Amino acid sequence: MENHELQKLTEELSLQLFGIPFKHEAIFNPRLKTTGGRYLLNTHNIEINRKYLDQLGFDEMVGIIKHELCHYHLHLAGKGYRHRDADFRLLLKKVDAPRFCGQLPEKQMKRRSGKIITYECAACGTTYQRKRKLDVSRYVCGKCRGKLRKVEEVRVVQ
């Protein structure tokens, strides 16, 4: 799908769902990393992350476009366009747009594997479990201020 096809789709969805034309630009932005799309307040343009189309499919991208169009039309109408606003939440339900986009499979793979490191106080025996390594020369036990030592490191796959 090219930018001109995305523009046409966005214009069609705007007329079908909102009854108001979309008069600005809708483009794919390859620099978006953590979100499916965004509405730009200054230019009123909509940017979409192409990875969501490639990895999750056309329907997911249509949901993202609907979500961003909710921001667009509410902002231009002078109503609450932020995620926390009641106007925004009502319009999302009305047009059946998702509040959040799905997670990309590449992000899911990164989150699934991890490790849990267990530390123990040499003085009182209190154990601490952490996802990140601690510098045992800098940190001490929170109960007795005794020295910590690494007990075990377990790989976790969910």
Q: What is the pLDDT of residues 62-94, one digit of tens each?
A: 999 999 999 999 999 999 999 999 999 999 999
Cβ atoms 9, 25 nearer than 8 A: no
- Respond yes or no: is residue 68 known to be catalytic: yes
Q: What is the mean pLDDT of the chain?
A: 90
* Among 68, 106, 152, 153, the one annotated catalytic: 68
Provide the pLDDT for residue 146: 94
Q: Is 133 exposed, middle or buried (0-12, 13-18, 19+ CB in 10 A)?
A: exposed
High-pLDDT (> 70) share of the chain, %:
94
pLDDT band at 104 (very low <50, low <70, confident <90, very high): confident
Cα separation, 38 vs 77, whole angstroms: 18
Cβ atoms 151, 120 nearer than 8 A: yes
Provide the pLDDT for residue 154: 84
Residue with the bigger pLDDT between 132 and 158: it is: 132
Provide the pLDDT for residue 101: 84
Q: What is the pLDDT of residues 13-54, one digit of tens each?
A: 999 999 999 999 999 998 988 889 999 999 999 999 999 999
Cα separation, 30 vs 27, whole angstroms: 10
